[in-house]
Structure 1
């Protein structure tokens, strides 16, 4: 399966909590509803942080991949699945 397309990109590799979440939060604020953000990270706590952020802010976490200690996320602003 190919990853979803995205309009925005942030590389937070090498940063640790809370920096990746704060950077993503600030970026998402500038985006339009329905736009997607690709985030690369190496901090394992981003998995929990981004899931909670999306749930609380009603965004959709469309992709979560982990390979070789690198995390890849696609967050879609303002569109949350009913599940």
Structure 2
């Protein structure tokens, strides 16, 4: 099980979700994608993304102005 970090700080919606979607397609089920984003909409956007794609929203935290969102790829 691998964890890939995707630094998307400074990008606005819809770019973080589009780039994360492209990156998660390269992973195998069980791998994690850790996303760093500054877009205030990112936590909700990735919640909806997971609901629509079936991937798991493993964690969502904020550190200063950076959102750290971890997704786990599902089948």
TM-score by structure 2 length? 0.92
For 2:65 and 2:14, locate their aligned partners in 1 and report how far apart those are by CA, in whole Å: 18
Query: What TM-score comes out, normalization by structure 1 length?
Result: 0.83
What's the secondary structure of 1:15's corresponding residue? coil
**C-alpha displacement of 1:48:** 1.1
Q: Which runs of 5+ in 2 are unaligned?
A: none
Q: 1:56 aligns with which of 33, 37, 52?
A: 52
Higher strand share: 2
CA contact 1:6–1:38 (8 Å) conserved in 2: no
TM-aligned CA deviation for residue 73 of structure 1 = 0.7
String of CA shifts for 1:47-73, please: whole Å, max 9, x gaps: 111000111111111110012121001
Q: How many residues of Structure 1 are paired with residues of Structure 2 in the alignment?
A: 75
> Which SS does the other structure have where 1:31 is aligned?
coil
Offset from partner CA, 1:24-63 (integer Å, 9 cap, x none): 0000111101100111000011111100011111111111
> How far is 1:18 from its partner?
0.8
Unmatched 5+ stretches in structure 1: none
Larger CA Rg, structure 1 vs 2: 1
RMSD: 1.5
Task: Select which of 2, 7, 12 maps to 1:11.
Answer: 7
